[in-house]
Every structure is written in C-alpha cells, then in structure tokens.
Structure 1
C-alpha cells in the first residue's frame, strides 16, 4: 500500500466530460498526505514524489455508496437458497432467525463486502446496521470493528437501524441510544405507520432520540401511496419544528413515485433540505429523479442489501448501480447518464454529509481510474478499475486490492 506520507503525482489522466472523450487535455494530480494539492495540465511533481503514469485513463472521484447493509450480506459465502415469503414482515422474521441460528458473524461479513467495495472504487459508504432486542448491539460491534480496520482508507458512516421496528419491540429505543453512544453516526427508522402502527408516536420517539444524541436521521420509508405521503408529511412537520433542515434522509420514498401529483410535497422536501435515497428498484415506484433535481432536492443512490437473505441480487460496484439508475429512469443521453453518476458521487457525498469531496485542491484524495472515454461510457461499460486511491493511498489495481488493505 502506498504510504499516505509520501507525495504522489498521478500524470497523464483525463478529467471527466459528459460530451467529449479522447480529445480532452491530459492533466496531472499531485497528492500530498491525504489531500489533492493541485490538478491541471502543468502540475509539477512535489519533492520526493512517487510518479504514477495514468496512461490516458479517465479520472473519476471515489464513489459513494449512500445506502447499504453491510451487517446482512452473505458475500463470499455459499449460495443461500431463498424460500422466504412475499411480505416485508416475512423477510424481517426470516433474516432474524437465520442470523440467530447460524451464528452469523457481522464483523467477518461486513469486512469482506467493504473490501470488495473498496476494490471497485467506493471510498465513502453509509451502512445501516440492525439494532434489535434479539441481537442487541452484536451486529453493530462487528461493523464497528470493520470500520476501525479500514479507517485509513474507507470513510464509513453507520446508521443504527431498528429493522424489526421500534415501538412494537419495547426496549429498542434504549438500544438505539446505546448504539449512538457506542459510535453509530446516524439514527435510523422504519415505516412508522405500517411496521410500528403509530406514525405519530414512532416519529416522536425517533426525533427525540436524534435530538438527545445530536444525530441526523435516515429513515426507511417503504410505505406506499397515500399512507407513505401521510407519514412523510408528519416527518417534515418535525424537521421544520425541530430545526433538522439538512439533517434528514428519506430512503426509498416509494410513495413519491406513486402519487398522481407530488409537486407540493416535493417542494416542501426541497424547502426543508431533506435528501432522498433511491436504489432505483425495477419493481417499485421511485421518486421522480429529474423533478427532484429541478427543485434542488439532493437525490442519491445506493445498492440497499447485497446478496443477503432478502435478495440474491447486488454487487458492490457503484458504476453498476449508476447504470441501474439510468435504466430505471430511462436515462439515455450522455448528460443524463452523468446525472446517474452524480447520484453515486457528488450528490451522494452531499446527501450523506461526507466532507471534502471531489476533484479539486484541498479535497480528500479519493481517485479512480478507468479506461473509458466519458462518464456515460464508464457508467454503461463499467470497466475494471485500473487504479483506486483512497485517502491518499493506492489501495487497488485492476480491480484487486493491493497488499496491506
């Protein structure tokens, strides 16, 4: 692994452009410590720098995973035969029983998936981790170990998530508080009406916890149509009353894709600076991407679960997720595909609150090189990552982690 203390010059790379490819001017990037010092066509190598020739590859910022579940994954394990029932509650109960009966190791599994994310260019990541009265903080402790192990290269946010519900499982709210005290960065929540059966009480408890611990909120809102819209309005009331503007993400928000006229609700979401997360599932309604962006709403992308008891699908590759976002929203023009990439890069960093992101001096040195002519080409072709730099260190070459990662 390249030392973060020795300067590096990454030469002969091309900056991304939505409309042009091979004719773009070659630039160099100087990296000192963990930061980009300079970027441009005539950047000199810092003293005692390692020089890395990018070979004309396209330079992208490190990718951002806005919503996954590291503590659930079966990545690298034998195939799981999925025979679970069709309802959300079936999946929750099945997963809880599977992990309890098999001695599932969230530390081992989250580390395996995190390393795969890193090899594919993801350098910042938000993961939801189950906290419930069966498991207590066991899964959180495993993911905290993974975060510590990869702290030098992977910037990880952990959401304390009541996957089995909060009010319906007494004691969960106390466990969530313990999780926040133990190192979780964000407070999660789940379907206050359809799971907890009391949207007012559930949201009041969630916002009270967030206020007590000074944490932002990221809520799973699968609730459909008018039910989801009702819950979302209650949530927005609390954002406004408690001054939580810019500190709440609504994940999935299927209701916004099902309402016949969501403009008034979207305008309020925009005004209160609530961000929206979509995995762009093909089988569910999704928030209107272009309308959200027109209104100034930050809408970001994530994989959700990857190869777990809920779903056999998913890979830890944010270029593939950007492609799936493009397909779900019928994005075909190159500039539209650049929007899909934004959902897993700058918009995701903004929505999650990851600081110092991007390709400019002073930003954290998270860089990805791919053999592609444009961003659109990279999203569609998903080429192997020639090089991945995270926090000023080269961590992967040709899709394989380097020694020491």
Structure 2
C-alpha cells in the first residue's frame, strides 16, 4: 500500500438516505460532504458511480495474533470445555511454528481489503509465551499504522491468578505498548473473582488503561461476577472505561435481575460486546440500546484452534448479528450495521470517526441500494479509503 496521497475528491456517491453527494478529503480528513462540494486543489477525482457511501468498518473484538488465516487447514479435535480449548491452543502455538507477526499482518491486510479501518485485537499474554505474541502484533500495528487504527488488548487467555507471574507480564505488556487491559472469567478460570478483579483493577489504575473483560460465565455465576465488576467500576471512577465482552449471563437471567444489571451498566457507561454466537445466550440488543447502553459487534477468533469459522468482513458479522437477533426490517438492519460502525467506534473509544466534516477519512463504497442491502448482500468493496488514502479497489488491495 504505497499510495501516499491523502487528498481525494469523491463524486457521485449516495448517503444512507439516498442523497447524492460529493466528499472532499484533505490531509487524511473529511473536509466536507454535500451537494456542492468543491474539489481540493490537485486532488485526484474518483467518480463513485452512484455507489453507497459507508464509514470504514470497526472490528470491536478479534484475536489476530492466533489466527490460522491463509495457512493449511487446522484439523480441530479439541475437547468441549473452555479449559480444553485454552490448553490445546497454548500447546499448538508452542509446537506448530505459528508466527504471530506473520499471521496478524496477513489478517490485518484482509480486514483492510474488506473495508475495516479500526480494529481492537486481544493478544495472549501468558507465562509460556510471555510477550512474544505482543511483539508480533506490535510489529503489525507499526506496519499498518497509516492504514489501520489498531488497539491492542493485553489478554490473559490462560488465566491470571492461576498462573503466577501473569500479573507482572500484563503490566509489562501495558508498559510496552498494549492499549487496553484484558481479563477472563474471574470465577470459573481464576477461581477467585474478588482477588482476580482486584488485581485487574489495580493494574488498570497503575497504568491508566481501560479494561475489556471476557465474561463467558453463565447465569448466576456470571451475574455475581458482573456485580463485583460494576462495584469496582463505580468505586474507582472508571465509568466509560470498561467493556464486557460476550456477557452470556445477560441473555440467561430472569428478566427482573437482568434489567437491574442493565440499568446499572447503563448508569456506569459500561459497554457490551457481542459476536452474536448462535449457540450461546446473548445480551438483548434492542433493550440495551433502549437503555442507552453502547453495544457493538466483533468476530472474536477467526480460523483458529478454537473455531474454524469467521472471515475478516464486518458486513458479514453485521449480517450474523442481524440473523441472531432476528433483525428483518430495513431499519433493524441499520442497527446491525451500527454495531460494526458507530457503536463499535464509541465502545472502543476510537476518535474522529464517522461520515462528518473533521473525521478521519475512512470510507467504503459498495454497489448496494441501501445499508440493509449492503449488510445482507455483502457486495465486493468498490473502494476503500483509509486515513485519506485509497487502499483497496474492486475487492483488491492497492499496492
């Protein structure tokens, strides 16, 4: 991706409401969008051909360090438990020659090719690999810095307290460039939710980092952990700085208990992430939005030892969110797209996002009649602009 021009003029494109507009991009930012927009001096002119204009997509939760994308097929014979998957993956990564730098770069490029311009990835930190995977993803972040706005979560995939030394490694990861502190199932994995959350919030306070916690814990166990988490958010003044990923318990609790938790989540400005898995309970999307909770979407793992599924295409993830939540009306499918665009940018804290003057110029053109049509049909990306540069055309990266 060697195109260094960060000023572009897009003509003859359509907004979601059907209005035909032009877009002036100067120095990597949107200067203006409208009907009578003047082209910047000496900027190349791109005729959009009446294509639908979308903001660059946001991947809110993935694991690019562990993907098997582009490699030979991985034969999955892992056991059914979460701990089976964790142990199997850790051993496979040690013995297979898997390269976190190579794989994270390949997957990042595939994301950009399909229109993703902002991405939050969780990177395994454990006492076997130490910071090796982080080093690989930091290299990818540097390589992609002009194209892909990436946040790295230091994530204790194998547990934290149950593997002595992990707390210190997480601190090292935050000091060396991780943007967010991750956590995992304080009750079912670490076995002590109070001590685990205390350690997590102490690290976040020390390094002044936000938190993104994987909470797979079901039903009442998950609710208990979530209450402890919310207590700490309130006590430490971390409103607006915490994401709860998955939150399966919120899809399985009795309505009264669930709603009380959701009201508190809204009050503390905790965001929720879902990959909309078909086989697990999920937080109620529309109810969360009605309560003012930011709820957004992500792929989770893509083609790794956990699962053979997933592709780096956020329009497909939006479609899967729509299917999981039975979103059929066009206005409901706009909600699914919001989960991989504005809501995801808000939930992750990505700045300068959107189709507005002053925002970073991250744009996608597709041949679709409406946003709902784009989500369902997932057409080839006609043009992808990232940080003001044309980086993909007709579904292929621009070299």
The question of a shared fold, defined as TM-score above 0.5 by the shorter chain, is answered with yes
1:127 corresponds to 2:121: yes
SS in 1 for 2:13: strand
Please say if 1:275 is aligned against 2:271: yes
Q: 1:206 aligns with which of 192, 200, 216?
A: 200
Residues 2 and 133 of structure 1: CA distance in aligned 2, closer, same or farther (over 3 Å): closer
Whole-Å separation in 1 of the counterparts to 2:8 and 2:336: 30
Instruction: Spell out the pairing of 1:5-404 with structure 2 (5 A cutoff).
Output: 5=5, 7-17=7-17, 24-261=18-255, 262-403=258-399
Quick check: 1:4–1:34 contact (8 Å CA) kept in 2? Answer: no
2 CA distance for matches of 1:254 and 1:243? 25
Deviation at 1:15, TM superposition (A): 0.4
| Structure 1: segments with no counterpart, 5+ residues | 18-23
**1:104 CA displacement:** 1.3
How far did 1:6 drift?
5.0
Q: Work out the CA distance in 2 between the residues paired with 1:333 and 1:59.
A: 20
In 2, Cα distance between the equivalents of 1:2 and 1:141?
24
Q: In 1, are the aligned partners of 2:6 and 2:387 still within 8 Å (CA)?
A: no
1:16 offset after TM fit, Å? 1.2
Per the alignment, in what secondary structure is the counterpart of residue 280 of structure 1?
Answer: coil
- Residue 7 of structure 1: CA displacement? 2.3
Structure 2 partner of 1:21 = none
Q: Which runs of 5+ in 2 are unaligned?
A: none
Aligned length: 397
Cα distance in 2, alignment partners of residues 176 and 375 from structure 1: 40
Residues 3 and 391 of structure 2 are in contact (CA less than 8 Å); yes or no, is this contact kept in structure 1?
no
> Could you tell me how far 1:4 is from its partner in structure 2?
4.6
After superposing on structure 2, the runs of 4+ consecutive aligned residues of structure 1 that deviate more than 4 Å are: 1-6
Alpha-carbon RMSD across the aligned residues, in angstroms, is 0.8
Give the Cα–Cα distance (whole angstroms) in 2 for the partners of residues 111 and 49 of structure 1.
30
Q: Secondary structure at the match of 1:379?
A: helix
Q: 2: distance between equivalents of 1:97 and 1:7?
A: 47
- C-alpha distance in 2 between matches for 1:216 and 1:372: 37
Partner secondary structure for residue 21 of structure 2:
strand
CA distance in 2, matches of 1:54, 1:203: 50
Q: Deviation at 1:5?
A: 4.5
Once residues 304 and 99 of structure 2 are traced to their aligned partners in structure 1, the CA distance between those partners, rounded to angstroms, is 13
Distance in 1, Cα, partners of 2:40 & 2:137: 37
Give the conservation status (yes or no) of the 8 Å contact 1:4–1:33: no
Distance 1:6 1:75, change over 3 A: closer
Is the 1:69–1:305 Cα contact (8 Å) retained in structure 2? yes
Is the 8 Å Cα contact of residues 362 and 387 (structure 2) preserved in structure 1?
yes
Structure 2 length-normalised TM = 0.99
Contact 1:10 1:52 in 2 (8 A): yes
